[in-house]
Structure 1
Amino acid sequence: MAGVFEVFVDAESQFRFRLKAPDGTVLAVSAPFEDKRAAAAGIAAVRECAGTGLITDLSAAAPQVTAGTTQEEPAPARVSAPKQAPLPARAEHLRQGFGKKRTPSEVPGSQLRRPAATQTRWTGAA
């Protein structure tokens, strides 16, 4: 089941919409709009962009946890933004072969083509 967009009027008499999950959890609330038509255009823009939107992680890196440590050390102050490490591959993706380089012997060949030595020229006569 898909999420639901609800258009409503807020306390300041502005139109807004909220996106609710199938279980009723509010996932997002929009900025205020002047009228219902503008709110509908906002919903259309979210529908168009949400599925193709890229993710930008602006959060700080998680602290490293080592075995045997019980106290958390405060993170040193940083002047520049932390470097983003690539995300590890998910186990189910590795099972499906995503991200794996194929050797020439693993590349699937077309079973519909004849080998070059056995091809004959078509003359048009039946």
Structure 2
Amino acid sequence: MAGQFEIFTDAESNVRFRLLGADGTVLAVSKAFEDKRSAADGIMAVRECAGTGLIRETHSTPWGGTTWTTSSKTPHPHPSRRRHSPAV
């Protein structure tokens, strides 16, 4: 069985959705939406970009200092040694 999206109402009466893995594990939870229709539109947006989305890694210092990020858009200093991460 493939994963699935589930629309639910949270404790503050906001409509949200979550993405469940094939084994029922919660993989992601959305922001709050005004209504079910908006949540469904959010699901459609995730479906459209999930397969082509870039992977970005974010790091922060333990003392709460400046956060820096790396992205696949950033030129790699050694293109021949670039590692590719599998799509998730």
Specify if TM > 0.5.
yes
Structure 1 residues 18 and 82, CA, compared in 2 at 3 Å: closer, same or farther? Answer: closer
The alignment yields a C-alpha RMSD, in angstroms, of 3.0
What's the counterpart of residue 18 of structure 1?
A: 18
Q: Give secondary structure in 2 for the equivalent of 1:11.
A: coil
Q: After superposition, give the CA deviation of every residue in 1:50-99 in whole Å (9 maximum; x if it has no partner).
A: 11001112237xxxxxxxxxxxxxxxxx9895887754479xxxxxxxxx
Any unmatched runs of 5+ in structure 2?
71-75
Give 2:19's aligned amino acid: L
What pairs with 1:10-49 in structure 2 (closer than 5 Å)?
10-49=10-49
TM-score normalised by structure 1 residue count: 0.49
What pairs with 1:82-101 in structure 2 (closer than 5 Å)?
87-88=82-83
Q: Give secondary structure in 1 for the equivalent of 2:42.
A: helix
Contact 2:17 2:30 in 1 (8 A): yes
Aligned length: 73
Structure 1 residues 79 and 29, CA, compared in 2 at 3 Å: closer, same or farther? Answer: closer
Identity of aligned residues (%): 58
Tell me how far apart the structure 2 counterparts of residues 88 and 15 of structure 1 sit (CA, whole Å).
39
What pairs with 1:1-126 in structure 2 (closer than 5 Å)?
1-59=1-59, 81=68, 87-88=82-83
Tell me how far apart the structure 2 counterparts of residues 13 and 45 of structure 1 sit (CA, whole Å).
22
TM-score normalised by structure 2 residue count: 0.68
**Higher relative contact order structure (alpha carbons within 8 Å, sequence separation ≥ 6):** 2
Any unmatched runs of 5+ in structure 1?
61-77, 91-126
